[in-house]
Structure 1
């Protein structure tokens, strides 16, 4: 098969998708913003051809690049694995006759109010939400639903730009901030209490071929607000035979069907609390922050290759047997500034080194990143263990033992 892949060089893990496609026999045609000489021999060698554009989200440039390839080869697929690239990819698919996720489905997976409205019509439990274009509309929603509320960009990825507001004053301040960033329309929704996690899949023709469930500790908004927290996300190896995970799977199946997702990676956020299990949002793309690395480690299976095998051949290659749970703990600096050093690393590694997958400890003098920049913005550590509870305990110990000193 001949597969066009959008932006093979950035971010850095994009090349893993290209390598995986090549490893299962696909001819990969890359379109990206980097110069060909900047790709490196390995990445360039994994592709049949490469076409440079100045902006991979520019539909005109992307269409021209795809049509260039189509003059020389039959193009079977066009893949985009970054949220910001998915709509342009869908538009180009439809313009050039390439099968894959439609513009309509991509729109529903990116525009949060439209997504939730479609799912409510399908009977999927989700938070009350609306698209608001004015402060008056936001205040009307607040009066109807009550505080707290969540405000977020209509097409944002993950928790990027998401804020919680608890009263009229915080609502007004948040709306002013969104206005200053140029947002003319935002999503506002009911705050759902409960534990937060995500359900990821790779689907074939609308049916789940592989899936994983992962938990946040604590929930994302709390994690991104508090420096002292060493937040974690942990993928479970207890999905089989568990009634709760059966419910998560059924919710995911209903969402995939309602939104018309065919053959794709997906990333679905959920909450479970006093009102039961509720859908939050979904992306028709792989998850970020290295989740597939954890899924690979927890199953001793290359998940990137599994995705590529499904894209190229229409079937999975290996099952997910889940011998391990796997997780990441973010290790925050005690101040903003520059890294001065670390303490507790040797003691922690002496206790648990055999279970550590990999680590990231930026060198002395490296600039720190703000807490809200995410789980992998500063130091972090990834681990796996056959017992989920023991893994949680070790990750907690990492947060308590390892200290990142900055100044």
Structure 2
């Protein structure tokens, strides 16, 4: 039976059209819903879509609801709806609930949207977490600050990335934050460490058919707040405690037929602290990084998990792949042309990034590949080295 799969926002992020291409190659009816004019879609996306329903705004749920009603009338039962985008998780869940489509529904959202609920589930999975409270009153927050000390981190209980996330280092900064009446914010101790991730794709039974890990040069909070550069790289060897924690979290959150992106802090003393879960692929060019690291095709793997309920991916991680971003207001020691001349043998891909990614990831990206971890880091640092005035 031909599967009818609705893909929300198939044009963004820009490389997501490849998921639709792979679904169509496997015989699915791929039904797109977005507010982008049809003629502006990538040509390969237009070819992959069985039909496209344009709404005036994807935030208008009544329009999206009508789109699925139209598709159901025209093609029959919808088997899946997805966007692989955290921003549309609630829209997807509402549609699955209203049309009885398999996958996470409205009742499943708290655990994958609310950071406070994530912390509760992390604890159930026997994974360490930062101490934290939901802000209900200034007195409660001030008492917490006295208990754990500065710095603190304040972030929305429901939020994406480092948006509206603040580092608080003094009583004065805390007073300024509390003056904004921050209901719905999670207040946590600041954990010093590097970000490590556990990323992958789970099959229909919840088993990871692919998993890997990345490490970041800086925290996303610091990069966004200071407008710094960032690089991050895939690992060839996954720390055993990270894999064990990741697998426990997979089971507690009942992840099935989905990508996952779990974030942790690794402290200087080796403590592993769970930060948050994301039931989607990591952003930017991360899927492409994983593909280059193992000479695989995760766009196709995800499509196979949905259509055929199985996929075989070689477990070998052949390379480290490092993402290095640059920002236009910085004066770099090497021009773009000099970067390609010096490191072209190791740069497997480079491109401008969408403006929405500029603050966190830079305006221009380079993907650096080598079996040698130290080499990709050295090249990334050289690409981001600033000129001396």
- The answer (yes or no) to whether the contact 1:112–1:281 under 8 Å persists in 2 is yes
Unaligned runs of 5+ in 1: 240-244, 363-367
Structure 1 residue aligned with 2:380:
395
Q: How does 1:308-319 map to 2 (within 5 A)?
A: 308-319=303-314
Alignment of 1:264 onto 2:230: no
Task: Give how far 1:105 is off.
Answer: 3.1
Contact 2:116 2:157 in 1 (8 A): yes
Deviations 1:340-384 (A, max 9, x none): 99844444333321111222469xxxxx989981113x2332211
Contact 2:324 2:380 in 1 (8 A): yes
Name the CA shift for 1:107/1:80 in 2 (closer, same or farther; >3 Å): farther
Per the TM alignment, residue 334 of structure 1 is displaced from its structure 2 partner at its CA by 4.5
Cα drift, residue 77 of structure 1:
0.8
* Aligned 8 A contact 2:332 2:384 in 1: no
Cα distance per residue 1:113-137 (max 9 Å; x no partner):
1211232234221112222244344
CA shift at 1:111, angstroms? 0.8
Partner of 2:384, secondary structure, is helix
Shift of 1:322: 1.5
1:242 alignment counterpart: none
CA distance in 2, matches of 1:230, 1:176: 31
1:115 is aligned to 2:104: no
| Greater Cα offset, 73-82 or 264-273 | 73-82
1:194-243 CA-partner distances (Å, limit 9, x unpaired): 2212111111122111111000012333333445x54211011223xxxx
What is the rounded CA distance, in whole Å, between the counterparts of 1:151 and 1:175 in structure 2? 10
2 CA distance for matches of 1:311 and 1:348? 40
Match of 1:248, SS state, is helix
Q: Which residue of 2 aligns with 1:9?
A: 11
- Give SS of 1:119's match: helix
How many angstroms apart in 2 are the aligned matches of 1:150 and 1:206? 33
**Residues 11 and 42 of structure 2 are in contact (CA less than 8 Å); yes or no, is this contact kept in structure 1?**
no
Distance 1:381 1:174, change over 3 A: farther
State the SS of the aligned residue for 2:78: coil
CA contact (8 A) 1:331 1:403 kept: no
Relative distance call for 1:5 and 1:186 in structure 2 (3 A) is same
Task: Name the SS of the counterpart of 2:345 in structure 1.
Answer: helix
Residue number among 44, 47, 50 corresponding to 2:46 in the alignment: 44
| 1:287-326 superposed Cα distances (whole Å, 9 cap, x missing partner) | 1121111111111112111111112211124324221110
Tell me if 1:19 matches 2:21.
yes
Distance 1:385 1:114 in 2: 39
Partner SS state of residue 391, structure 1:
helix
Which residue number in structure 2 is paired with residue 77 of structure 1? 80
Partner of 2:292: 297
Cα RMSD (Å): 2.7
Q: Secondary structure at the match of 1:71?
A: helix
Give the structure 2 partner of residue 306 of structure 1.
Answer: 301
Counterpart residue number, 1:253? 247
CA contact (8 A) 1:63 1:96 kept: no
Would you say the 8 A contact 1:270–1:280 is kept in 2? yes
> What's the counterpart of residue 349 of structure 2?
358
Q: Structure 1's 70 and 54: CA in aligned 2 closer, same or farther, altered over 3 A?
A: same
Distance 1:114 1:28, change over 3 A: same
User: Structure 2 stretches of 5 or more lacking a match?
Assistant: none
What is the aligned partner in structure 2 of residue 374 from structure 1? 360
State whether residues 220 and 360 of structure 2, in contact with CA within 8 Å, keep that contact through their aligned partners in structure 1: no
**Could you tell me whether the CA contact under 8 Å between 1:101 and 1:261 is conserved in 2?**
no
Which residue of structure 2 lines up, in the alignment, with residue 235 of structure 1?
234
- 1:208 is aligned to 208
Aligned equivalent of 2:193: 194
Query: TM-score of the superposition, structure 1-length normalised?
Result: 0.86
Contact 2:197 2:263 (8 Å CA) reproduced: yes
Please name the residue that 1:279 is paired with: 274
Structure-2-length-normalised TM-score: 0.90
Check 1:80–1:347 CA distance in 2 against 1; reply closer, same or farther (3 A cut): closer
Number of equivalent positions: 384
- Residue of structure 2 aligned with 1:87, choices 78, 87, 90: 90
Distance 1:79 1:404, change over 3 A: farther
Q: Is the 8 A contact 1:113 1:187 kept in 2?
A: yes
What CA distance in whole angstroms lies between the structure 1 residues aligned with 2:73 and 2:356? Answer: 47
Match of 2:340 in 1: 349
